[in-house]
Amino acid sequence: KAGVTQTPRYLIKTRGQQVTLSCSPISGHRSVSWYQQTPGQGLQFLFEYFSETQRNKGNFPGRFSGRQFSNSRSEMNVSTLELGDSALYLCASTDGDTDTQYFGPGTRLTVL
């Protein structure tokens, strides 16, 4: 099976702009989670979607949002970008039979 894919791999934006990141999970995986990874804060959970519904949410402001489509593909959106949003954004899909997460390569977002 193909792994988790994320697009784009790199993004450069300026403060105040918004951005949309995309994630395609492993075929058959219905749960998609998003994480923000930074050198200072490590891996922080953003939210999880399962069958098009947000099932869990981390402690991030409302500028961070997401959605999941009927084919399990997911997008996350960050509005009104701030310098501190510069990070590697990771998507992971979960094998529902083994509760194991598989990660994509990430999208590196730089906010100038």
Residues that bind another protein (CB under 8 A): 33, 35, 42-43, 45, 48, 55-56, 90, 92, 98-106
Q: Which residue, chain included where needed, has tokens 């959106």?
A: 77
DSSP class of residue 54 equals: E
Residue among 60 and 105 whose Cβ is closer to another protein:
105
Sheet with 74-78: list strands edge to edge. 5-7, 19-24, 74-78, 64-68
Work out how close the CB of 49 gets to another protein at its nearest, in angstroms, rounded to a whole number.
13
Pair 19, 11: CB distance under 8 Å: yes
Work out how close the CB of 103 gets to another protein at its nearest, in angstroms, rounded to a whole number.
4
Residue among 16 and 96 whose Cβ is closer to another protein:
96
Residue among 4 and 111 whose Cβ is closer to another protein:
4
Residue among 68 and 101 whose Cβ is closer to another protein:
101
Work out how close the CB of 17 gets to another protein at its nearest, in angstroms, rounded to a whole number.
26
Residue-wise over 79-109: b if at least 16 C-beta within 10 A, else e?
eebeeebbbebbbbbbeeeeeebebbebbeb
